[in-house]
């Protein structure tokens, strides 16, 4: 299993950060790596990459303005994501960790680099959407 963590401080209050990150139905409005999202139900959603590749997410933990966790799965990988949100007055610290297992052996050497790239893009897009 590969683990990747990213921390950042967002120049926006925790309520705005939380609402933006959890509004998955609006991801395609600000995330540059997605073409669309589909909300299946309260606990499940699907993200589609720019090329239409789907990844399914199942929410496992949701503690208002504190923690959001979900399992993720597609044909290439499976894993778990944990997001911790901490208020710092008018700013918010985010701490996101992914635990991912590659389903295809040839992908294992590239997984850590891929996760780091995805996390960096998410943070950059989030900051742009909020600041």
CATH of 2-130, one of 3.40.50.720, 3.30.530.20, 3.40.50.300, 3.40.50.970: 3.30.530.20
What's the pTM?
A: 0.92
Q: How confident is the model at residue 105 (pLDDT cuts 50, 70, 90)?
A: confident
Tens-place pLDDT, residues 91-102: 999 999 999 999
Tens-place pLDDT, residues 67-86: 999 999 999 999 999 999 99
Beta-carbon contacts of residue 94 (< 8 Å; ≥ 6 apart)? 7, 8, 9, 10, 17, 21, 83, 84, 85, 86, 123, 126
């Amino acid at each position: 299993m590969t683990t990747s963590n990213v921390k950042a401080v967002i120049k926006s209050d925790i309520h705005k950060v939380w609402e933006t990150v959890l509004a998955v139905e609006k991801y395609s409005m600000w995330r540059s790596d997605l073409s669309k999202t589909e909300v299946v139900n309260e606990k499940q959603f699907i993200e589609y990459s720019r090329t239409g590749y789907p990844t399914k997410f199942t929410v496992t933990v949701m503690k208002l303005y504190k923690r959001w966790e979900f399992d993720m799965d597609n044909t290439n990988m499976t894993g778990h994501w944990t997001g911790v949100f901490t208020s710092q007055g008018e700013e918010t610290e985010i701490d996101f960790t992914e635990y991912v297992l590659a389903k295809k052996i040839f992908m294992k050497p590239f997984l850590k680099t891929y996760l780091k790239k995805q996390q960096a893009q998410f943070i950059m897009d989030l900051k742009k959407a909020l600041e």
